[in-house]
Structure 1
Amino acid sequence: MPDLIGMDCAKDYSDFAGAIKQAGVGFVGRYYRWPASHYAPLTYREAAALTDAGLCVVALWEWISNEISNFSYHDGFAQGSCAYRQAMTTHQPAATPIYFTVDNDFDPDQIAGPINDYFQGVADAFRAMGRGRSVYMIGVYGSGLTCNWLRNQNMAERCWLAGSRGWAGYDRCTNWDIRQAFDDLNIPGLAPGAEGDYDSDVGRPSYGGFQV
């Protein structure tokens, strides 16, 4: 099966769903959010609109994920619980991942310390929410170094490699499920890139998209 073309975006662009599909895009990455976020989270209504257009959805979680102060066991448990609840209300199917973002080029000690603790908190939250058995998989979005560490420690089952090629471990992360880029997908009304409306992505068959 060939790799899939996708995109991830901070806002609800379901009004563009038809144009996104016509541009050859197969999946859209959208975020669950902490209640204090000024961005609107992924909802069932948005997921249904994307599904109706023939697109798949990939779920991420993001909250101050570029600051190391956000990462601790307590933060992971609280945010994992919140993400799990939002996934259920969005009708996200079982056995699909939620990718938790680690959006900075953190060093090995930070990854092995507070970031690893954070993902342990997420795992415990998922088990608690599932009464001993989570229905969702845990994924990580981040640098190659972050992705490789967490997968090697069995803290993440899926990996979304950030598009920042200068971040540690980029070239050594070859077992990604999604790889981010900054290509122009030629979607009328939407601009690509870090300062635009979306980033482009490539997904392998294991990427974890779903429809509702």
Structure 2
Amino acid sequence: MFTVIDSARPATLVVRQLAQAGIRVVMRYYNHKDVSLPGKRLTRAEARTLTEAGLSIGAVFQQRGGGNGGHIGDLTAMTGQRDAARALQVAADIGQPQGSAIYFAVDWDFITKAELASIEAYFGAVNAALAGSYRVGVYGSGLVCDRLLTKGLVKFAWLSQSQGWSGHDDFLKSQRWALAQAPATTLPGTGYRYDPNYSNTAFPDFGQFTLNSGADEFARDHAAPEELRSMMQVTARSGLLLRRGAGTSYERIRSLPFGTRVFGISVLGDWVLVDTEGDGKADGYCHRGYLELVADAFGMRHPALADPYQIAREELADNIHEFPGKKTNPRIYLYHASTGHGDEDSVPWCSSFVNYCVEKAGLKGTNSKAARSWHEQGWGDEVTEAPREGDIVVWRRQWTNAAGQPESGGHVGFLVSANATSITVLGGNQSGRVSIASYPRNGSLGGQHYKLLSIRRAVTMTDSDDMIIAEAAE
């Protein structure tokens, strides 16, 4: 069972069943007027009922939103100002805490330059009207979500379930969505119709709220779990067997049909422990040879026991960089999650990047955001006198702050090349991105003094003799 749902129908009469089914968040609608769907708009009474049942609420404004034939006239600067004013009015009536989010629906596959420009003008007006009181989200196609995030017009993107809409698959794989909608279903025994949603655990929250909490409280309540996950899809045309253990000798549970999407929880050799219901609970093991990665927001893209330097090069190829302003790249949040907890990309992340690569290779890192931890903890073997490409290089950094006081820190990265005076490394947080850069062995650069502390190499691990045979459903 998914834990986040959306519905155009009031949830008042099924709140108890939703809570018992493991639902944690219900996304409901704001609008100007209910037309074809009585009860579409969330009321304060329903919001209170949801809150009292221990459920959180998500708000999305939609008065057609361009849907039912592609009415771009619904999405202009003028209608944006009008819709935002109404959203603020409904939010006040509900008692929605400031700092949470209001999503605005773009419910059609708009693709032309003129249409996209009109949508941008709409969200520009929405931002001006909300004036920072609520974070702004968009529900729409991959193309629209990607464009508005890139333009800085929204904080959250909610990807529509319409897989044929422009940019759907690319945006799903981009790690940038907060929510991704799945096909509609019915709550057993009730007739209550809703859409389940995947939530991207690389985000600490997606703007949900309760009537008795503010932004800080719901961010704590819905923090990313310790076990970050990947969304994967069955590629075996005949289906893929789900087993009770990581091997062909374990009992078969059932067959997952071609195209089934699951969450990968962890990897054991060639086997993936999967969650088939989206509730965070393990349901069994599938062979990874027949699972395709759909969205790598959760950090399982790299094969088990790969080389850390190889993983670092793949991250480099993905052009990972900090987002402008106060936004945080979910990928960098994920790097930080490998050193105890996720964090904003304004927090130095060179050590978190190295730790992420080391852990994804099946090794133990330092579990520290401090760059010098790799030297001070004596990680691996010291090979300063005989280094090779891919080793981990650690520096001490010293500088003078604006007040004229001395400060110190460190830097760490993977060795690419070296000469008598400088060392080139592949690292994170180098000019705000994963990049290749050179630093002095012992000297100044950019107003800071660098001193090489040591070069480290992972202790050699014994290769496993186990052989796993790939299988699809028979």
CA offsets, 1:137-177, max 9 Å, x none?
A: 11000001000000100111111100011111111213111
**Match for 1:203 among 182, 199, 206?**
199
SS for the counterpart of 2:170 is coil
1:179 aligns with 2:183: no
Q: Which has the higher contact order (CA 8 A, sep 6+)?
A: 1
C-alpha distance in 1 between matches for 2:199 and 2:186:
15
| Gap regions ≥5 residues in structure 1 | 128-133, 192-196
**Which of the pair has more CA radius of gyration?**
2
**Alignment of structure 1 residues 37-116 onto 2, 5 Å:** 37-38=35-36, 39-40=38-39, 41-65=41-65, 66=67, 67-116=71-120
**Percent sequence identity over matched residues?**
31
Which structure shows the bigger proportion of residues in strand conformation?
2
C-alpha distance in 1 between matches for 2:183 and 2:156:
21
TM-score by length of 1: 0.87
Which residue is equivalent to 1:131?
Answer: none
State the superposition RMSD in angstroms: 1.7
* Count of residues in Structure 1 that have an aligned counterpart in Structure 2: 198
C-alpha distance in 2 between matches for 1:117 and 1:200:
30
Which residue is equivalent to 2:190?
Answer: 189
1:150/1:156 contact within 8 Å kept: yes
SS for the counterpart of 1:198 is strand
Which residue is equivalent to 2:157?
Answer: 159
Structure 2 residue identity aligned to 1:8: D
2:184/2:194 contact within 8 Å kept: no
C-alpha distance in 1 between matches for 2:74 and 2:97:
28
2:135/2:207 contact within 8 Å kept: no
How far apart are residue 85 of structure 1 and its match? 1.3
Structure 1 residue identity aligned to 2:48: A
C-alpha distance in 2 between matches for 1:79 and 1:64:
11
SS for the counterpart of 2:26 is strand
CA offsets, 1:74-105, max 9 Å, x none?
A: 00000001001111111111111101000011
Deviates further, 102-111 or 118-127: 102-111
**Alignment of structure 1 residues 135-146 onto 2, 5 Å:** 135-146=133-144
| Gap regions ≥5 residues in structure 2 | 212-474
Which structure shows the bigger proportion of residues in helix conformation?
1
2:83/2:126 contact within 8 Å kept: yes
How far apart are residue 118 of structure 1 and its match? 0.7
Deviates further, 63-72 or 177-186: 177-186
SS for the counterpart of 1:172 is helix
**Match for 1:17 among 15, 18, 41?**
15
SS for the counterpart of 1:155 is coil
CA offsets, 1:39-93, max 9 Å, x none?
A: 4311221111011111110000001211212111000000001001111111111
CA offsets, 1:12-57, max 9 Å, x none?
A: 1211001011111111110011136454311221111011111110
SS for the counterpart of 2:137 is strand
SS for the counterpart of 1:54 is coil
